Each structure stands twice: as structure tokens, then as C-alpha cells.
Structure 1
Amino acid sequence: MTKYSAMHETFSIERKIRASASRVFAAWANPQAKRQWFACHDEWVSLDYNLDFRVGGEERNRVADSNGVLHAYQARYLDIVPEARIIYAYDMKLGEIRISASLATVTFEAAPSGATMLFTEQVVFLDGYKDGGSRRQGTEILVDRIQAFVEREGNIAH
């Protein structure tokens, strides 16, 4: 008999970024730009990536880790306000097993020396999956990577 469970967690990560809110937003919106920073582990192999950045659009990212295990991310964009807010829902799978479902909100505000980006995620871990803080840790890596990307890159087209 399968035991079903749902463990909830919410976390937020804020960064002061030395780039305009427009440039930070563009790094999320532009498929070529996002593909450059949207990875937690450089040694993992990209199998498939697609970004349709619009309300109702989807994003897919499938990678194989160093042991060959498939990690699949699939998102749907629910709300986009240019240079202000992005809201999307996504799920994660290991192999064919769905391990989590999330609602993520990213906000952008102009700041004196650039922009403030706030990432908030409400995640539910499914059916006994023990995250042990790795989702927050992976998201911290992504936030660090987008910050480094926009601070070193010039203009990014939307």
C-alpha cells in the first residue's frame, strides 16, 4: 500500500543586485540568457530546455546528474508584470517520480545602486520525499548565478 504525504515549506531569498530591475527581469525573460544561469550543477548534462515566457507559457528543463538520474522541471507562468513581478507554478521529478510542486514569486524593485530581487517559494514535498534543505540550497545557487550573470553581462534583450 502506497503512503501519500504532503510536507509544506516556504522560503524567501533577497538579493541586492548591481544592475537595473529591467536587466534582472530580462535575464528571466530571455531564453538564451536564462539558459546560461539556470543550472545548479555545471557538471550535469542538459537533455532538453525550452522557455515560452508569457502568461500561460511553459518552461521545461531536463538534466541528467552525474549518476545519470533524470531531474525534470516543468513550469507554467501564471502572471508576468514586466520589470516588477513573475509568478509561476512548477513541479520537479526525479526519474518518473514527482517529488514536489511549487508556487514561486519573483519581484523586482529599483534600488539606489541597482535592483532588489526577492524570490519566494511555497513548496510541497510529496509522498515521503526528504528534501533536507536542498531545495533552498539549490535556489540560493540559482539566485547567486543570476546575480553574477546580470552584474557581468551588458544589455539583455527581452
Structure 2
Amino acid sequence: MTRHVTPHTMIITRDLKFAPSVVFKAWADPAAKAHWFSGPPDWEAEPHRLDFRVGGEEYSAGGPKGGPMHIMRGVIHEIVPDERIISSFTMHVDETILTVSLATIEFVATATGTKMTLTEQLVFLDGCDHIADREHGTNAMLDMMEAYLNRQ
């Protein structure tokens, strides 16, 4: 097997109608994040775990019934309340590591709410470079976050 890496930077911006403190809390509060940070609705999932502090860890796992488990393990590196979160994480399918990432989420107040920018610097490992699928999945996750905020 030929081993290689494919680097990629993904930047997604959302204009949200909520104050930065509300959007930040959706990422920072373990109970809130557990409501929206998940796979597709038909997936089976383990309980989401988030220790939201610098050095704290995050864990999420789930997958289609009878299918492979998609596992995310992360560490939080910086927290600036209502402004920025920086974390790193790995994504696996079962025991196969797919990506290693550094994610920065920024929250900027606007006249109508918050401009949220997610910048993810990824390294896809050994042929797992499904960039379009990853961007689609991240946008779907952000859609779930926005739907969660709209229900509050």
C-alpha cells in the first residue's frame, strides 16, 4: 500500500440570527451540543461526551445500524468566551484513521446576530481524501446546529 497525505483547508461561514453568546453556548455547553452534534437521524450513536475546558476532550461515535462506526476524538486548545474555540481532532471509521484536523470556530457580532466562521485544516490519510463528502457532512452538521438554535 502506498501511504500519502492530502492536505485541505475548509472554510465555512454562517450568518446566524442569534447573539454570539447564544451560538457559542451551542458549542460549549455539553447538553446543548449533544442535541445537534451527531450523524444522520437514522444512525445509532453512543452518548456524546464534551469536557469543555482547555485540555478537555470530546468524543462522538455513531453509524448506520450494522454498519461501521464513525468516531471523532478531540482536544480543546483555546477558549475565548463568545469569540473563539480552537480544537484538534481525529476522525476514524472503525479502527481506520481517516483525518487529523485543526478547527477554529470564530464568533463575530453583526447587526443581525453572529457571523460564525469554521476553519478546518485537515490532513486526509492514505487515500481517504473524500473532500466533497467531508464538506457536505460539515455543512449538514451546521444545519443541525442552526435548527437546534431555532428550536430554543
TM-score, normalised to structure 2, is 0.95
Distance of 1:38 and 1:112 partners within structure 2: 27
Tell me if 1:103 matches 2:102: yes
* 1:11 positional shift: 1.2
Q: Between 35-44 and 70-79, report the one with greater CA deviation.
A: 35-44
Distance of 1:84 and 1:71 partners within structure 2: 29
**Runs (4+) off by over 6 Å:** none
Structure 2 residue aligned with 1:117: 116
Distance of 1:102 and 1:61 partners within structure 2: 15
Gaps of 5+ in 1: 154-158
Tell me if 1:31 matches 2:30: yes
Tell me if 1:92 matches 2:88: no
* 1:134 positional shift: 0.7
SS in 1 for 2:46: strand
Q: Percent identity of the aligned residues?
A: 37
Distance of 1:27 and 1:68 partners within structure 2: 29
Matches within 5 A, 1:116-155: 116-153=115-152
Gaps of 5+ in 2: none
Q: Is the 8 Å Cα contact of residues 19 and 151 (structure 1) preserved in structure 2?
A: no
Q: Between 68-77 and 46-55, report the one with greater CA deviation.
A: 46-55
Q: Is the 8 Å Cα contact of residues 92 and 98 (structure 2) preserved in structure 1?
A: yes
Tell me if 1:79 matches 2:88: no
Distance of 2:39 and 2:93 partners within structure 1: 15
Structure 1 residue aligned with 2:20: 21
Matches within 5 A, 1:25-64: 25-64=24-63
Structure 2 residue aligned with 1:156: none
Q: Is the 8 Å Cα contact of residues 18 and 151 (structure 1) preserved in structure 2?
A: no
* 1:142 positional shift: 1.1
Tell me if 1:11 matches 2:14: no
SS in 2 for 1:92: strand
Q: Is the 8 Å Cα contact of residues 37 and 142 (structure 1) preserved in structure 2?
A: yes
Q: What is the aligned length?
A: 152
SS in 2 for 1:133: helix
